Amino acid sequence: MKKRYAVLFFPYLLTDWYLRKNTEYVAEPVVFMASANSRMFITASNAIAQELGIFPNMLLADARAAVPQLHVLTDKPLRKKKLLEALAQWCLQFTPTVATDDLGNLLLDISGCAHLWGGEKGYLAAIIAQLGSKGYEANICSADTIGAAWAAAHYRPTGTVIDAGRQLELLSHLPPEALRLESNTLDRLYKLGFRTLDSFAAIPVDVLNRRFSSELVLRLQQFLGKVEEYLEWVQPIQPYSESLSCLEPICTDKGIEIAIGKLMTDLCARLEAEGKGLRKAKLSCHRVDGKVKTIEIGTNRPSAHVPHLCALFAQKIAEIEPGLGIELFVMDALMLDDASPLQEVLWKGSAGVSDQALVELLDKIKVRDSNCRIDRYLPNEHHWPERSIRSATALTEKKDREWPLGKLRPTRLLHPPHAIEVAAPIPDYPPMLFRYLGEVHHIKKADGPERIEREWWLELGEHRDYYYVEDEKGRRYWLFRAGHYTADTVAEWYLHGFFA
């Protein structure tokens, strides 16, 4: 089933709420204000006030000077958040999955719901009509990504339905604010002349990542549906659950292991039938004394592979204290995701992130040590060493370019580079020895220099001249001198990496 989302935008939420309770002010300009640094500013204004030029973030004194008949109310802390959460609970009659964001919007997962109202247009119209009957003014639009639905709700007429895959085509002339970007990113886009989405959407991802923040790339990919956006629902969906009652209390690790196997087999059979896999699961052990002991596991990719999931739980059985015995086991699937069936092969090629055995190994390492951090890196289009790699946002993220193989680079890169003391016969020659952490390394072999210029469009500074060196014990290092050698200054040398 294809995902569909709708976003509800409330331009006058606070004032709508007040006017619904005080109908005598329906035709009057109304604002809410808050105090900050002893200055009074407006946090919300109704449609009539905005027609008179009164907008949020305006000083109250200026607003009253312009509109003397203005009705001013005090904005209590968290009032808007509580109103939004109450409306989110009300929206559960239309879909079981509703979330709020920090910008005052409701985000609805409407997948499989709209047909009950005759289609998405009828579905959106029903929501707007019921909100209008309660005195709320709102815009609602739908699309196949949260980002596109958010942009349409803020910049297109209410009830707009963006067909799957057409978000950029129909929303290309919207301003960059439609991507929910931070103010500093917006300022930089406008300074460089990017005033609509289509002016930069076709620029390669690596160029955007290099010139702007990673936030712009993430929001654009979420808008286009290339990166999935996860939400925290106001009412969590009831998880898949399996339970197992015991005729006699279970006290041994072997008995617990058998119970886990039975529960996981039943749960995974349901998941496989629906094309889903586990991302996070919890085992609750109800003891005869009324206490409950729980353990949890998580996976990097959705999995319904019973032996693998049981092996993850087996590593945590020692954390369970059975006491006088366990009489009930409950297995809950806390997080699920769509899982693609894996095709069996007679032989495997080179290992990679698509290798199920590798992913399962990473899961086992992570479960064994909760403090373990597993990172994956991808090549980045920079010649400056510190920027030539980047962290992958997900295990399944594909690299957009091949790793550069033309020049030798160390296995371990130090960031920042470590200062060292060097003795060199001639300024532009490789050093004869260097001192690092109190140890003197006599250099037997060396190659270089390789000059790497600093990326002037990102920062100012000296270039670097790199040397590949090997000491008397066969250990290899990557050294560099910062800037040109001059007779007036002492050359600064650094150790930047170690070769395997």
Q: Which residue has the higher pLDDT, 75 or 29?
A: 29
CATH of domain 240-338: 3.30.1490.100
Q: Classify 94 as helix, strand or coil.
A: coil
Compute the C-alpha angle 126/131/135, nearest 5°: 145
Q: What is the pLDDT of residues 444-467, one digit of tens each?
A: 999 888 999 988 888 888 899 999
Q: Residue 106: what residue type? A: L
**Which pLDDT tens digit goes with each residue over 276-330?**
888 999 999 988 887 889 999 999 888 889 999 999 999 999 999 998 899 889 8
**215-245 tens-digit pLDDT:** 899 999 999 988 888 888 887 766 688 888 8
Token pair of 467 as six digits: 């040397």
Mean pLDDT of 159-185: 90
Answer whether 5-155 and 240-338 agree in fold. Answer: no
So what's the pLDDT on residue 346? 34
**pLDDT score at 361:** 77
pLDDT of residue 125: 94
Q: What is the residue extent of each domain of the chain?
A: 5-155, 175-224, 240-338, 412-498
pTM of the model: 0.51
Please give the Cα distance from 414 to 385 (Å, whole number): 10
- Could you give the 3-state DSSP secondary structure of residue 116? helix
Tens of pLDDT along 348-403? 555 566 667 777 777 777 777 777 777 778 888 888 888 888 888 776 677 777 77
Q: Which residues of 383-438 form beta strands (DSSP E)?
A: 389-391, 412-423, 433-436
Range scoring the smallest mean pLDDT among 20-24, 263-267, 411-415: 20-24
C-alpha distance across the termini of the chain, in Å: 48
Query: Which CATH number, 3.30.70.2740, 2.60.40.420, 3.40.1170.60, 2.60.40.3880, labels domain 5-155?
Result: 3.40.1170.60
Region of residue 474 (phi > 0: left; psi between -120 and 50: alpha; otherwise: beta): left
391 against 106, higher pLDDT: 106
Name the amino acid, one letter, at 489.
T
